[in-house]
Structure 1
Amino acid sequence: MTTAPTVLSIALAETSEPVLRPLPAEVAALLAEVGAPPRLVAHLRAVHDVADRLVDWIGAHCPAAAVDREAVLFGAATHDIGKTLHPGELSGPGARHEEAGRELLLAHGVRPDLARFAGTHASWTAPDIGLADLLVSLADKVWKNKRVADLEDLVVAELSRAGGRQVWQEFLDLDEFLTGLGEDADLRLAWQAAHSVHG
Structure 2
Amino acid sequence: MTTAALRRALTDPGPPPLPERAARLLEELGAPPRLAAHLRAVHGVAAELVAWAAERHPSLGVDPEAVLFGAATHDIGKALHPAELSGPGGEHEPAGYALLRERGVEERLARFARTHASWDGPDIGVDDLLVSLADKVWKGKRVPDLEGRIVDALVAASGAEPWQAFMDLDDVCDRLAAGADRRLAFQSAYPVTG
**Common fold by TM > 0.5:** yes
Amino acid at match of 1:64: S
Deviations along 1:73-102, one digit per CA (max 9) or x if unpaired, are 000000000001111100000000000000
What's 2:15 paired with?
Answer: 20
Instruction: Give RMSD over aligned pairs.
Output: 1.1
> Where do 4+ consecutive residues of structure 1 move more than 2 Å?
2-9
Could you say which residue in structure 2 is the equivalent of 1:101?
96
Could you tell me how far apart the structure 2 residues matched to 1:40 and 1:152 are?
Answer: 25
TM-score, length basis structure 2? 0.97
- Amino acid across the alignment from 1:53: E
Which among 59, 62, 75 is matched to residue 57 of structure 2? Answer: 62
Deviation of residue 9 (structure 1)? 3.2
Equivalent residues of 1:8, 1:28 under 8 A apart: no
Per the TM alignment, residue 20 of structure 1 is displaced from its structure 2 partner at its CA by: 1.3
Give the letter for the 2:141 counterpart.
K
Measure the CA separation in 1 of the matches of 2:88 and 2:8. 27
Alpha-carbon separation, structure 2, partners of 1:188 and 1:125: 26
Among all aligned residue pairs of Structure 1 and Structure 2, give the percentage whose two residues are the same amino acid.
Answer: 58
Kept in 2, the 8 Å contact 1:42–1:192? The answer is: yes
Specify the alignment match of 1:11 in structure 2: 10
Q: Which amino acid aligns with 2:102?
A: A
- 8 Å CA contact 2:5–2:190 kept in 1: the answer is no
What does residue 37 of structure 1 align with?
32
Instruction: Describe the superposition over 1:138-174 as per-residue Cα deviations: whole angstroms up to 9, x where unpaired.
Output: 0000000000000000011101110110111100111
Shift of 1:25: 1.3
Structure-1 separation of matches of 2:61 and 2:148: 18
Aligned length, in residue pairs: 194
Which of the numbers 166, 171, 183 marks the counterpart of 2:178?
A: 183
* Preserved contact between residue 51 and residue 73 of structure 1 (Cα < 8 Å): yes
Q: Which amino acid aligns with 2:135?
A: D
- Whole-angstrom CA distance in 1 between matches of 2:183 and 2:65: 23
Structure 1 partner of 2:71: 76
Q: Residue 152 of structure 1 is aligned with which of 130, 147, 160?
A: 147
Give distance in 2, aligned partners of 1:25 and 1:122: 24
